[in-house]
């Protein structure tokens, strides 16, 4: 997921950072790696580049993309899956 040519305003960058931090906190602690955070960030950036600004939607899209394309979705509790 590569975002080319996107320009983000400082307020949106702050929003995306907060969304990334919040999304990462919902993962099991052992999965909060740099690589996982980079993957989450990539999905947040891509979604924001398409015009999404709702932090809940940004977070959900990133988490769903990571869970759907990973082999650890069974590690996430049902409560966290329903975020």
Rounded CA Rg of the chain:
12
Q: Is 7 part of a structural domain of the chain?
A: no
Q: Is 10 part of a structural domain of the chain?
A: no
Q: Is 63 exposed, middle or buried (0-12, 13-18, 19+ CB in 10 A)?
A: buried
Average pLDDT taken over every residue of the chain: 85
Name the domain count of the chain.
1
Residue 28 CA to residue 19 CA, distance in Å, equals: 17
Residue 43 CA to residue 64 CA, distance in Å, equals: 10
Provide the 3-class DSSP secondary structure of residue 37: helix
Q: Is 61 part of a structural domain of the chain?
A: yes
Residue 27 CA to residue 48 CA, distance in Å, equals: 21
pLDDT of residue 5: 74
**Would the pLDDT of 26 be above 70?**
yes
Which range marks the domain in which residue 33 is found?
Answer: 18-81
Residue bearing the bigger pLDDT, 20 or 28: 20
Average pLDDT for 10-33: 95
Q: Is 28 part of a structural domain of the chain?
A: yes
Is residue 71 very low, low, confident or very high in pLDDT (cuts 50, 70, 90)?
Answer: low
Q: Is 9 part of a structural domain of the chain?
A: no
pTM: 0.77
């Amino acid at each position: 997921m590569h975002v080319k040519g996107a320009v983000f305003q400082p307020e949106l960058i702050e929003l995306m950072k907060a969304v990334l931090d919040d999304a990462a906190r919902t993962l099991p602690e052992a999965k909060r790696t740099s690589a996982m955070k980079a993957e989450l960030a990539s999905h947040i950036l891509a979604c924001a580049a398409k015009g999404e600004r709702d932090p809940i939607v940004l977070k959900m899209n990133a988490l769903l993309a990571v869970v759907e394309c990973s082999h650890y979705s069974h590690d996430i509790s049902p409560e966290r899956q329903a975020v």
